[in-house]
């Protein structure tokens, strides 16, 4: 039920259906937030599928220079695209010298997440605020839907009371979904990976994701998110 079948769009999942004691249903709620890769991969049918799920808005985590149609992307009518509002809320400033030095070598690893919100807390705070302000039926995406989207999803799920091991399993799903896929990004070493590389990577990185999720209070403190913002983000995934 969590996997979303939107035409042309792999690695799309609803953040609902994950166990938490903070929801009356015992699980995060469906139809509130979805995660995925670059929206330009959606076909005309895929956009209809997404609207059928309840898509009402998009928060795009990419830098401005990454946004737009590329060769090979499906042709979609302008009125289809205009029907869903998009907020660009990048988590990265790729011109920041410290970010470039520390994060560029590890951008496909959750190892960079803590550095991202330490170096650029105002950007991550703006991203989380955009998510809190958006309507239900929100798609959050980056390029692959794995790294930046994985980082934000980990913060949202951990803040909603989802256990660290479950947060790490959600990250691992995206690694598996995007391995061997080249359409989402121009440079991604994981696009050439097979099962052995993926299994080895998950074994190495899952503990990193679990540590981040277990220390979510420290993450939000570094980002500068106050109690009200955290409550609004939590309610998005748990409240009636």
Compute the Cα dihedral for 122, 124, 130, 133 and give only its sign: negative
CA-closest candidate to residue 154, choices 37, 54, 42, 18: 18
Task: Identify whether 6 is part of a domain.
Answer: no
Say how many domains are in the chain.
1
> Which domain covers residue 81, as residue numbers?
13-238
93-141: per-residue pLDDT in tens? 999 999 999 999 999 999 999 999 999 999 999 999 999 999 999 999 9
Task: Identify whether 143 is part of a domain.
Answer: yes
Task: Identify whether 37 is part of a domain.
Answer: yes
Q: Residue 220's domain is classified under what CATH number?
A: 3.90.190.10
Task: Identify whether 3 is part of a domain.
Answer: no
Task: Identify whether 45 is part of a domain.
Answer: yes
Per-residue pLDDT, 187: 78
Task: Identify whether 7 is part of a domain.
Answer: no
Task: Identify whether 230 is part of a domain.
Answer: yes
Q: Which residues of the chain have pLDDT under 50?
A: none
Specify the pTM.
0.97
Per-residue pLDDT, 235: 97
Task: Identify whether 80 is part of a domain.
Answer: yes
Per-residue pLDDT, 237: 98
């Amino acid at each position: 039920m969590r996997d979303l079948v939107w035409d042309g769009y792999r690695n799309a999942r609803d953040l609902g259906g994950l166990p938490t004691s903070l929801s009356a249903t015992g699980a995060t709620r469906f139809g509130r937030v979805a995660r995925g890769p670059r929206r330009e991969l959606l076909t005309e049918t895929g956009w209809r599928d997404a609207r059928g799920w309840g898509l009402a808005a998009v928060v795009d985590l990419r830098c401005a220079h990454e946004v737009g149609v590329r060769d090979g992307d499906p042709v979609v009518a302008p009125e289809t695209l205009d029907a869903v509002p998009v907020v660009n809320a990048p988590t990265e400033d790729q011109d920041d010298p410290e970010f470039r030095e520390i994060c560029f070598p590890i951008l496909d690893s959750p190892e960079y997440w803590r550095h991202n919100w330490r170096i650029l807390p105002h950007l991550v705070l703006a991203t989380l605020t955009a998510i809190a302000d958006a309507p239900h039926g929100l798609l959050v995406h980056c390029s692959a839907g794995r790294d930046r989207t994985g980082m934000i999803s980990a913060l949202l799920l951990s803040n909603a009371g989802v256990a660290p091991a479950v947060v790490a399993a959600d990250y691992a799903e995206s690694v598996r979904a995007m391995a061997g896929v080249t359409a989402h990004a121009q440079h991604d070493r994981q696009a050439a990976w097979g099962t052995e590389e993926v299994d080895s990577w998950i074994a190495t990185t899952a503990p990193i994701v679990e540590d981040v999720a277990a220390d979510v209070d420290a993450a939000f403190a570094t980002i500068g998110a106050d109690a009200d913002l955290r409550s609004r983000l939590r309610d998005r995934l748990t409240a009636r």
